[in-house]
Amino acid sequence: MLMHNPPHPGEVLRELCLEPLGLSVTAAAEGLGVSRKTLSAVLNGKAGISPEMAIRLSIAFDTSAESWLNQQAQYELWHAEQHRNELKVKRLVAV
């Protein structure tokens, strides 16, 4: 079942990981081994969580990579569902 309007994983990352630890974007990016620009794009919802980023986050914050990827999938699926009626798809049946 889809969550109603799930938050972007970047929002979760900011609120549950960076803020409680008092980490700046610069410090977090350095710890994750990515550029500040890359992390900022994720935090601002301009980029998603890639499998590699999910692994980096799992190592840095002792979480599972799957949890980050699941959040990203739920976010993307919910937004795609908002345009379901616009898709030109016919139901396929056996002939």
pLDDT digits (tens, 9 = 90+) for 10-54: 999 999 999 999 999 999 999 999 999 999 999 999 999 999 999
Q: What does the chain look like in DSSP terms, one character per residue?
A: -PPSSPPPHHHHIIIIIIHHHT--HHHHHHHHTS-HHHHHHHHTTSS---HHHHHHHHHHHT--HHHHHHHHHHHHHHHHHTTGGG---PPP---
> Is residue 61 pLDDT above 80, yes or no?
yes
Predicted pLDDT of residue 4: 85
Q: Which of 11, 73, 75 is nearest to 42 (CA)?
A: 11
Predicted pLDDT of residue 30: 98
Note the pTM of the prediction, 2 decimals: 0.90
Predicted pLDDT of residue 44: 98
CA dist., res. 10 & res. 50, Å (int): 12
